[in-house]
């Protein structure tokens, strides 16, 4: 027990969860808060997916499944990789998990020894750090410059690799910035990895269906198929099909690696929900038109959010290439004073001010490695985006 305490003691609550507690506290006091922080989508789970889950319950499919997933879902995941990425996998190379987060944490648990390093391009989804630490590893954030579109540069990756490096995390599209790596950019990063046989790549594709302006998200294995034995490609149904609470993720990796992941998953959680697996199978094998229809709606919302934010004094935002988040630069309000005389110095200051003074909740960027920024979702109804723009504008106008 004592040997696990250092890892557990190094963990922190997610920035989003911590901030949302502030939102809940204010709402409990009777305040009206427009919450633009969630990683959820406002779209419902597709009806045929819900019906598949109900049918599974009625058929008695409520028992344990294979630890690594039902054959039906594993085959559906295989077909997804063929359709989306042109990649072929065997059933033995697929594992189904309780969300994509578990797949990543399990991959780290299989491989990391105390002191092993995990390179994480920053800004990033901060949970990668905790997943590495929980397995005894050391997360190594590598800053990604704004003038490079918040993308990892090959030369920076090369400088970060040490004899202790065991993993590189590549999230494409990137949460929170919405950056999207091209095939050529991924190939250049893989060129850096190739001479280091002890280094593996986690490819986190969770937002792969949220890429705008006709582009497509590429996964690293497409760019460097010769590194197949050193890649774990992770995805899930949470975002794509509005199934956040169904908790189904998956990973593709060499069969021997999947076997090791399965051992860890058995000890930690056994299998994923049988009913959720039936629903995920329906999502991946059913009509896919919902993806393009919702993407078109989100692109309209993105453009609206960018326009409204850029109309707020002191704030600026560029259109993200992917995801459904808008990263807002606070550079123009840093150094200004609130009506109460407080000087705004950080993104967290700006976030706290707008929450208290304007009733609008935006996540501070510091928790994502993005200082002097705030993050805003646009996966909400259009009227919420309009209201958010109005409240942010009022809050900024009151600064001096």
Q: What is the DSSP string of 30-48?
A: T---EE---S--SSPPPHH
How far is CA 329 from each of CA 314, 345, 350, 359, 365, rounded to the nearest angstrom? 9, 13, 10, 19, 9
pLDDT at 14 over 80: no
pLDDT for 324: 98
Q: Are residues 14 and 53 in the same domain?
A: no
In this prediction, residue 1 carries a pLDDT of 36
Cα separation, 336 vs 314, whole angstroms: 10
Indicate the residue among 254, 286, 318 that finishes a domain: 286
Do 122 and 210 belong to one domain? yes
Number of independent structural domains in the chain: 2
Residues 185 and 322 grouped into a single domain: no
pLDDT tens digits, residue range 64-82?
Answer: 999 999 999 999 999 999 9
C-alpha–C-alpha distance, residues 205 and 100, integer Å: 9
Neighbours of 230 (CB within 10 A): 23
The Cβ of residue 216 has, within 10 Å, a number of other Cβ atoms equal to: 13
Q: Lowest-pLDDT range, 8-22, 140-154, 333-347?
A: 8-22
Query: Tell me, what CATH number does 322's domain have?
Result: 3.90.1150.10
Domain ends where: 221, 252, 286?
286
Cα–Cα distance for residue pair 61/287, rounded to 1 Å: 23
Residues 273 and 295 occupy one common structural domain: no
Q: Give pLDDT tens digits for 44-56.
A: 999 999 999 999 9
* Angle, CA 210 vertex, CA 209 and CA 215 arms, to 5°: 85
Which residues, 6+ apart, have CB-to-CB distance to 362 below 8 Å?
36, 37, 328, 350, 351, 354, 355, 374, 375, 376, 392
Write down the pLDDT at residue 325: 98
Interval 105-112 mean pLDDT: 98
pLDDT for the residue numbered 7 = 64
Listed in sequence order, the DSSP H helices in 161-254 are 183-193, 220-223
Q: Which residue has better confidence, 250 or 3?
A: 250
Q: What is the pLDDT of residue 4?
A: 44
Q: What is the pTM (predicted TM-score) of this model?
A: 0.94
Give the pLDDT confidence of 362-384 residue by residue, as tens digits: 999 999 999 999 999 999 999 99
Give the CATH number, domain containing residue 181.
Answer: 3.40.640.10
Kindly state the tokens that stand for 125: 């989804």
Does residue 162 share a domain with residue 139? Answer: yes
Query: What pLDDT was estimated at residue 56?
Result: 98
The residue among 271, 286, 301 that closes a domain is: 286
- Domain housing 334: 2-44+290-397
Residues 128, 110 within the same domain: yes
The predicted structure's pLDDT at residue 377: 97
Per-residue confidence (pLDDT) for residue 27, from 0 to 100: 85
Q: How many CA atoms within 13 Å lie on the side-chain side of 390?
A: 7
């Amino acid at each position: 027990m004592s040997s696990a305490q250092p890892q557990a003691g190094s963990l922190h609550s997610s920035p989003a969860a911590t901030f949302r507690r502030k939102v809940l506290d204010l709402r409990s006091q009777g305040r009206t808060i427009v919450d633009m922080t969630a990683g959820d989508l406002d779209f419902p789970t597709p009806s045929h997916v819900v019906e598949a889950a109900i049918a599974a319950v009625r058929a008695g499919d409520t028992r344990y499944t294979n630890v690594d997933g039902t054959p039906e879902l594993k085959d559906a995941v295989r077909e997804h990789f063929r359709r989306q990425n042109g990649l072929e996998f065997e059933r033995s190379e697929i594992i189904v998990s309780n969300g994509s987060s578990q797949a990543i944490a399990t991959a780290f648990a299989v491989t990391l020894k105390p002191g092993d390093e995990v390179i994480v391009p920053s800004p990033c989804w901060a949970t990668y750090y905790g997943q590495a630490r929980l397995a005894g590893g050391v997360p190594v954030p590598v800053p990604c410059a704004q003038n490079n579109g918040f993308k990892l540069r090959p030369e920076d990756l090369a400088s970060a690799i040490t004899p202790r490096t065991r993993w590189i995390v590549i999230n494409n599209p990137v949460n929170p910035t919405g950056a999207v790596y091209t095939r050529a950019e991924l190939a250049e990063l893989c060129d850096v990895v190739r001479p280091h046989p002890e280094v593996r790549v986690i490819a986190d594709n969770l937002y792969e269906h949220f890429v705008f302006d006709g582009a497509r998200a590429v996964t690293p294995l497409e760019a460097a198929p010769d590194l197949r034995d050193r890649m774990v490609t992770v995805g899930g149904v949470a975002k794509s099909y509005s199934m956040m609470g169904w908790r189904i993720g998956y990973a593709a990796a060499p069969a021997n690696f999947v076997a090791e992941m399965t051992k860890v998953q058995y000890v930690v959680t056994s299998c994923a929900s049988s009913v959720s697996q039936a629903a995920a199978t329906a999502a991946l094998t059913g009509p896919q038109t919902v993806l393009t229809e919702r993407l078109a709606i989100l692109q309209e919302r993105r453009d609206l959010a960018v326009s409204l934010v850029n109309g707020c004094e002191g704030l600026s935002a560029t259109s993200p290439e992917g995801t459904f988040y808008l990263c807002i630069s606070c550079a123009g309000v840093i150094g200004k004073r609130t009506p109460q005389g407080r000087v705004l110095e950080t993104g967290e200051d700006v976030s706290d001010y707008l929450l208290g003074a304007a009733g609008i909740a935006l996540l501070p960027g510091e928790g994502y490695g993005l200082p002097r920024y705030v993050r805003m979702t646009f996966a909400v109804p259009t009227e919420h985006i309009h209201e958010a723009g109005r409240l942010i504008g009022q809050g900024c106008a009151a600064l001096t």
